[in-house]
C-alpha cells in the first residue's frame, strides 16, 4: 500500500509541475503570460523562464530517478520553494498557472505546503519503497492532463465572467518602465505614456502615475503589466482589469472599434 501511495504522490506532484510549466509556455508563446513585477521570491525576482525550467527539470528528475526517496525530496524542495514564492505574492495576481486573473491566496499557499509535507513524509517513511517508473509516468500524465483541463476551464470562465461593463467610459493602459512586454505594446500600438486616443476615452499611463495610484486606493488591483483597466469615471472602483500583451491588444482593438463607431 505504501508503494502505491508514494507512486501516486510522486507522479501527481510531477504531473502538476509539467502541467503548470506547459501552461506558462503556452501563454508565453501567445504573449498572454501575466508575470508579476518586482520581488516574487523573498527579495528576489525570478523570471518566468527560470521557474519553468525548474519545474520541468524537477519533474523529469523525479520521474526518471530509480530512488523514490530522492524523487520525493526533489519535489518536496520545489513545493517548499513555491510556498515561499506564494507567501511573497499573497494577494497579488500571479501567472504561475499561465492565466491572468488568478490571485495568490490561502489555497495556493496551503496546497503547496501540504504537498511539501506529504512528499517529505514519504521520503522519510518510505525509504526503500518500490515505485515503478512506468507507473509514475502514467500518474504524471493523468495529473498533467487534469491540470491542463482545469486551467483551460478557469481561463474560459474568466473570459466569460469578466466582461467590461457598457457603462465604462474610460480605458487606462497601465505600463511599467521595467516591463519588456510594455515596451513591446508601445511599439506595436505606436503609443507612449501620457498619450490620449479614441476621443479621449483611452489614456496611456505609468504604473506610478496619479490615475493608476487612485485606482489602487479604491481597491482595484493592478499588479501585473501591461494592463488595461476599463472603468467608469462616476465610480472608479467599478473597474475591469486585463493584463498581458495579447489581452491588452485585444481590449484596445475592441474599445477603439466600439468608441469610434459611437462618435458622431
Residue with the three cell numbers 490620449: 196
Q: How many residues does the chain have?
A: 264
The CATH architecture to which 170-262 belongs is: 3-Layer(aba) Sandwich (3.40)
Higher pLDDT, 35 or 253: 253
Q: Answer whether residue 264 shows pLDDT above 50.
A: no
Give percent of the chain above pLDDT 90. 53
**Which pLDDT value is given to residue 263?**
46
Q: How far apart are CA 201 and CA 154, in angstroms?
A: 30
**Inter-axis angle of helices 133-161 and 48-64, to 10 degrees?**
150
Q: Answer whether residue 123 shows pLDDT above 70.
A: yes
Q: Answer whether residue 210 shows pLDDT above 70.
A: yes
Domain ranges of the chain: 2-161, 170-262
The pLDDT tens digits of the residues spanning 69-85 come to 999 999 999 999 999 99
Mean pLDDT of 211-230: 90
Amino acid at each position: 500500500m505504501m508503494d502505491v501511495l508514494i507512486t501516486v504522490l510522486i507522479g501527481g506532484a510531477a504531473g502538476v509541475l509539467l502541467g503548470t510549466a506547459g501552461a506558462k509556455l503556452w501563454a508565453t508563446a501567445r504573449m498572454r503570460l501575466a508575470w508579476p513585477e518586482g520581488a516574487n521570491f523573498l527579495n528576489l525576482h525570478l523570471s518566468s523562464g527560470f521557474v519553468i525550467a525548474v519545474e520541468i527539470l524537477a519533474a523529469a528528475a523525479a520521474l526518471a530517478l530509480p530512488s523514490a526517496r530522492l524523487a520525493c525530496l526533489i519535489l518536496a524542495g520545489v513545493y517548499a520553494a513555491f510556498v515561499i514564492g506564494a507567501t511573497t505574492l499573497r494577494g497579488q495576481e500571479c501567472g504561475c498557472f499561465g492565466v491572468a486573473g488568478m490571485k495568490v491566496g490561502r489555497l495556493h499557499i496551503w496546497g503547496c505546503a501540504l504537498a511539501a509535507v506529504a512528499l517529505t513524509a514519504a521520503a522519510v517513511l518510505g525509504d526503500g519503497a518500490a515505485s515503478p517508473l512506468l507507473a509514475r509516468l502514467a500518474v504524471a500524465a493523468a495529473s498533467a492532463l487534469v491540470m491542463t483541463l482545469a486551467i483551460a476551464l478557469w481561463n474560459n470562465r474568466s473570459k466569460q465572467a469578466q466582461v467590461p461593463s457598457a457603462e465604462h467610459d474610460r480605458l487606462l493602459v497601465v505600463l511599467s518602465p521595467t516591463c519588456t512586454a510594455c515596451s513591446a505594446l508601445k511599439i506595436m500600438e505606436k503609443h507612449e505614456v501620457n498619450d490620449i486616443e479614441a476621443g479621449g476615452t483611452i489614456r496611456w499611463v505609468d504604473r506610478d502615475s496619479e490615475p493608476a495610484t487612485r485606482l489602487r486606493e479604491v481597491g482595484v488591483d493592478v499588479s501585473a503589466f501591461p494592463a488595461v483597466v476599463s472603468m467608469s469615471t462616476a465610480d472608479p472602483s467599478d473597474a475591469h482589469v486585463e493584463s498581458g500583451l495579447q489581452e491588452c491588444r485585444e481590449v484596445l482593438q475592441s474599445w477603439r472599434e466600439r468608441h469610434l463607431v459611437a462618435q458622431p
